[in-house]
Amino acid sequence: MAAKWLKDAVFYEIYPQSFYDTNADGIGDFNGIIEKLDYIKDLGCNALWINPCFDSPFKDAGYDVRDYKKVAPRYGTNEDLYHLFDAAHQKGIRVLLDLVPGHTSEEHEWFRMSQKAEKNEYSNRYIWTNFCFEPAVGFPYIGGESERSGTYLLNFFKCQPALNYGFLKPDKPWKLSVDHPDAIATREAMKDVMRFWLRGGCDGFRVDMAASLVKGDDEQKSGTSAIWRDVRRMLDLEFPDAAMVSEWSNPPLALRAGYDMDFYLNHPGGGYSTLMRDYYNHDAEDHSYFKKDAGGSINRFLDEYLVWYEDTKDKGYIAPLTCNHDTLRPRYNLDPSELKLAYAFLFTLPGVPFLYYGDEIGMRYLDLPTKEGGYFRTGSRTPMQWNSSRNLGFSEGNEEDLYLPVDPAQDAPTVEAQEKDPSSLLNTVKELLALRHRYEDLQADGDFSVICSEPGRPFVYRRGDLLLALNPDSAAKELSLDTGDKKVLFRIGNVSTADGKLTVEGQSFAVLG
Ligand code: NOJ
């Protein structure tokens, strides 16, 4: 059973480096988030996910944590973060922090201790083979960097040694079982981190690489799942309102492991990618469903989604997202009118939607050199564009000190300009989210079923008692359908019902009820 407040939750993801800088040092900060809470609320978002904001050498933008209990000074102090929790709660906004349980930075004190030749409390906190020349066959590993004779496993980049939660089937002396006291100590240490921030006032966690804990796990991830179920028992007892969203990409498994929600991510060939990111496919042509006249079919999405939806119904939520800090922004291949329809769909799906900062104004993906381990992801992490003033309102600092450059285009979208234009993407997002809050049928638990997904027809689906119709292409599409006495409650473009026929003009969307 998912936390009750998720029923009507809409999340806003903040990459803290780039949201709003209040001390002119060129990088965003907690006070900046506090100052923009009214903007977020007005947009229709009532929950935040803040990317890792803990002390770190920032070789992977903070996903390399050096101290789980101390925030990175560049964002402020722990007290500033507590203040952010309070200020958000006063406005009815919940806050999830980013928990990175699979690895730490190589500069974390636990790892420094683990590297020592002499045995100590942290020797088994990471996964080491028994000899400096013994490879960890089948896993990425590093040797030759410590006084301890052994090689250690990595969980992601070189700077991120894997924490030790044990192996499902240990077949070497250096592999601990999942119930070895030292493997359990790692899990308890992570629970301690969670308690620390939950007591400080956060409302839960987005969990990085949630499926990566137990090594040599089976396909069902039974070893890792057992750990998360244990964590869930702790939460149910001590923090029953806390919410957990996983980066797992398998909602049935993640929800069975005790998560409230799992992200629907953009894996190449996966259903979600076919909606907006089909340029990942190998014929190099973009047949994204929301790309006008690109010949995309909604069924490539539905084939995967409906199986997951049926499997997870009443157990928790699938979390669709506009984008995140790891993906190209949707504006990369979709223009603002295409984005309106894509968001209309994402924000009227069941489950819990996530909006990445800046996607509400259609910020562009910029072609930039890598920053803090971002590589191709860097172009989606640029400063939020608030207005037409210096540094597009992100910072009063010097341009050369900015964390990343702002969009140099003459027509760079900004919040200020779009607020003044009733037909802007920003105002459409506001209307869509207001509609979602107004009708329970559109929220997390409202039923979803497909009425028509035939090529050449409008895509028509039901949410509870509401009927929704969508046509991303340029020519009008019709469907013989008795819509009874339903009226158009909301529309983008033009949709009409007459004589048992539903007509959805090109690039149009409507909610009927
Ligand atoms: C997934 C995060 O979203 C990504 O940004 C990070 O680089 C990896 N996990 C490693 O923590």
Atom of ligand 1 nearest to the CA of 156: 10
Burial zone of 261 (CB within 10 Å; 0-12 exposed, 13-18 middle, 19+ buried): buried
Q: Could you tell me the distance, in angstroms and rounded to a whole number, from the CA of residue 60 to the centre of ligand 1?
A: 7
Q: Could you tell me the distance, in angstroms and rounded to a whole number, from the CA of residue 63 to the centre of ligand 1?
A: 6
- The model's pLDDT over 44-89, given as tens digits with 9 standing for 90+, comes to 999 999 999 999 999 999 999 999 999 999 999 999 999 999 999 9
The span from the CA of 184 to the CA of 177, in Å, is 10
Q: Could you tell me the distance, in angstroms and rounded to a whole number, from the CA of residue 100 to the centre of ligand 1?
A: 9
**Where would I find the beta strands (DSSP E) of 222-373?**
243-246, 261-264, 317-320, 354-356
Q: What is the dihedral of CA 91, 339, 262, 378, to 10 degrees?
A: -90
Name the one residue in this structure whose structure tokens are 């603002």.
336
Give residues with Cβ within 8 angstroms of 76, minimum separation 6. Answer: 29, 30, 31
Type of residue found at 50 = I
DSSP letters spanning 303-336? HHHHHHHHHHTTT-EEEEBS--TTS--GGGT--H
Alpha carbon separation from 18 to 361, 367, 392 (Å, rounded): 15, 16, 12
Residue nearest to atom 6 of ligand 1 (CA): 63
User: Residue 55 belongs to what H/E stretch?
Assistant: strand 54-55
Residue nearest to atom 7 of ligand 1 (CA): 60
Q: Of the residues 156, 213, 246, 325, which should be mutated to test ligand 1's pocket, given the most ligand atoms within 8 Å of the CB?
A: 156
Type of residue found at 22 = T
Atom of ligand 1 nearest to the CA of 377: 5
Alpha carbon separation from 338 to 5, 53, 241, 474 (Å, rounded): 31, 33, 37, 11
Locate 44 and state its tokens: 């229709």
Q: Could you tell me the distance, in angstroms and rounded to a whole number, from the CA of residue 216 to the centre of ligand 1?
A: 20
Locate 117 and state its tokens: 């030749």
Q: Could you tell me the distance, in angstroms and rounded to a whole number, from the CA of residue 13 to the centre of ligand 1?
A: 14
Q: Could you tell me the distance, in angstroms and rounded to a whole number, from the CA of residue 103 to the centre of ligand 1?
A: 10
Q: Of the residues 106, 323, 326, which should be mutated to test ligand 1's pocket, given the most ligand atoms within 8 Å of the CB?
A: 326
Three-state DSSP string of 132-165 = CCCCCCCCCEECCCCCCCCCEEECCCCCCEEECC
Q: Of the residues 54, 207, 208, which should be mutated to test ligand 1's pocket, given the most ligand atoms within 8 Å of the CB?
A: 208
The pTM of this model reads 0.97
Q: Could you tell me the distance, in angstroms and rounded to a whole number, from the CA of residue 320 to the centre of ligand 1?
A: 18
Alpha carbon separation from 333 to 291, 329, 422 (Å, rounded): 8, 8, 24
Residue nearest to atom 1 of ligand 1 (CA): 208
Q: CA angle at residue 63 from 54 to 115, to 5 degrees? A: 90
Q: For residue 268, what pLDDT is reported?
A: 72
Query: What's the mean pLDDT when you consider all of the chain?
Result: 97
What is the phi-psi region of residue 4: left when phi exceeds 0, alpha when psi lies from -120 to 50, beta otherwise? alpha
Q: Helix, strand or coil for residue 431?
A: helix
pLDDT in tens, the chain (513 residues): 689 999 999 999 999 999 999 999 999 999 999 999 999 999 999 999 999 999 999 999 999 999 999 999 999 999 999 999 999 999 999 999 999 999 999 999 999 999 999 999 999 999 999 999 999 999 999 999 999 999 999 999 999 999 999 999 999 999 999 999 999 999 999 999 999 999 999 999 999 999 999 999 999 999 999 999 999 999 999 999 999 999 999 999 999 999 999 999 877 778 899 999 988 765 678 999 999 999 999 999 999 999 999 999 999 999 999 999 999 999 999 999 999 999 999 999 999 999 999 999 999 999 999 999 999 999 999 999 999 999 999 999 999 999 999 999 999 999 999 999 999 999 999 999 999 999 999 999 999 999 999 999 999 999 999 999 999 999 999 999 999 889 999 999 999 998 899 999 999 999 999
Q: Could you tell me the distance, in angstroms and rounded to a whole number, from the CA of residue 208 to the centre of ligand 1?
A: 6
Name the one residue in this structure whose structure tokens are 């904001």.
53
Type of residue found at 250 = N
Q: Could you tell me the distance, in angstroms and rounded to a whole number, from the CA of residue 166 to the centre of ligand 1?
A: 21
Residue nearest to atom 5 of ligand 1 (CA): 326
Atom of ligand 1 nearest to the CA of 157: 10
Quick one: which of 488, 348, 335, 323 has its CA closest to 429? 348
The set of protein residues with a Cβ atom below 6 angstroms from ligand 1 is: 60, 63, 100, 156, 208-209, 247, 325-326
- The model's pLDDT over 283-300, given as tens digits with 9 standing for 90+, comes to 678 999 999 999 999 999
The span from the CA of 479 to the CA of 381, in Å, is 42
Q: Could you tell me the distance, in angstroms and rounded to a whole number, from the CA of residue 52 to the centre of ligand 1?
A: 10
Residue nearest to atom 11 of ligand 1 (CA): 63
- The model's pLDDT over 220-266, given as tens digits with 9 standing for 90+, comes to 999 999 999 999 999 999 999 999 999 999 999 999 999 999 999 87
User: Residue 299 belongs to what H/E stretch?
Assistant: helix 299-312
Quick one: which of 95, 104, 108 has its CA closest to 198? 95
Alpha carbon separation from 31 to 16, 71, 75 (Å, rounded): 10, 13, 8
Residue nearest to atom 3 of ligand 1 (CA): 326
Q: Helix, strand or coil for residue 191?
A: helix
